[in-house]
Structure 1
Amino acid sequence: MEFAAFCALYQHRYREYAHSRLSDARQADTAVRLAFAELADQWDQALRSPHTNAYAWRLLNRHIRTHAGAAEEERDGQEDVESRTGHQDRSFLPDHADEARILHQDLGMPLPEASEMMGHTSPRPR
């Protein structure tokens, strides 16, 4: 029941975020689906972690990086997408800062909501 509620609450936002990180919508959907499948298998462990949202967010980003790496291999030899589009390279930002920027600036999510979704809030009391 709790897992279903978690999925209902975050699935749409996870998809938006994955779509912003991956150039291929199908790969983004697959990354989210695989992250939720892995989370389902590890739900008890996620609940025992200091912050369930942070646990789930790490899984999602790992699957996004995996799919991004696959896309990089397919593009091998082509120039970087950001260079072609003229967007500033933000690779110098810490991962969590770049993720927060994407959620807030690119997707229009309020910072408190983005922080909660990423698990950057106080751990729940035990």
Structure 2
Amino acid sequence: MAFTAFCVLYRQRYLEYAHNRLADAQQADAVVRLAFAELADQWDQALRSPHTNAYAWRLLSRRIRDHAHETADEQGERPGGDSSAGHGDHAFLPDHTDDTRVLLQDLGMPLLEATEMMGHTAPRPR
């Protein structure tokens, strides 16, 4: 039941993020499905991890990255170049920084929601 609740809570945001990265709604849907299938297989391990959201986010990010590289290889593009994978001029950013940029700037997600979804500790107001 907890896994189902997790999927219901994050599926739409994962789809938005994947679509931004891959620039194709069908590919985004396929990648999110694969990430959730992998998470389902590893759910007990994800729950035992320090932060379930971070565990799930790593699976999603890896799936997106792998798919983008496979697509680039098929099209004869160089990984890290300006491609439909959404990286463009931001390819030099560390993954977590670029993820944050996409969530906050491109998708307009509030900071606390983005950090919670990625499994990062949000800064506390002083």
Quickly name the TM-score band, shorter chain normalised: 0.7 to 0.9
Q: Distance in 1 between matches of 2:90 and 2:54?
A: 22
Ranges in structure 2 where 5+ consecutive residues have no aligned partner: none
Q: Distance in 2 between matches of 1:26 and 1:91?
A: 23
Ranges in structure 1 where 5+ consecutive residues have no aligned partner: none
Q: How does 1:12-91 map to 2 (within 5 A)?
A: 12-76=12-76, 80-81=82-83, 89-91=89-91
| 8 Å Cα contact 2:46/2:56 also seen in 1 | yes
1:103 has 2:103 as partner = yes
Q: Distance in 1 between matches of 2:65 and 2:98?
A: 14
Give the TM-score normalised by structure 1. Answer: 0.86
Runs of 4+ off more than 4 Å:
none
**2:90 aligns to what SS in structure 1?**
coil
| Aligned counterpart, 1:117 | 117
- Is the alpha carbon distance of 1:89 and 1:45 closer, same or farther for their aligned partners in structure 2, counting shifts above 3 Å? same
Identity, % of aligned pairs?
69
Q: Distance in 2 between matches of 1:88 and 1:77?
A: 13
How far is 1:28 from its partner?
A: 1.1
Give the TM-score normalised by structure 2. Answer: 0.86
What RMSD in Å do the two structures reach over aligned CA positions?
2.0
| Aligned counterpart, 1:4 | 4
- Is the alpha carbon distance of 1:80 and 1:101 closer, same or farther for their aligned partners in structure 2, counting shifts above 3 Å? closer
Q: Which amino acid aligns with 2:22?
A: L
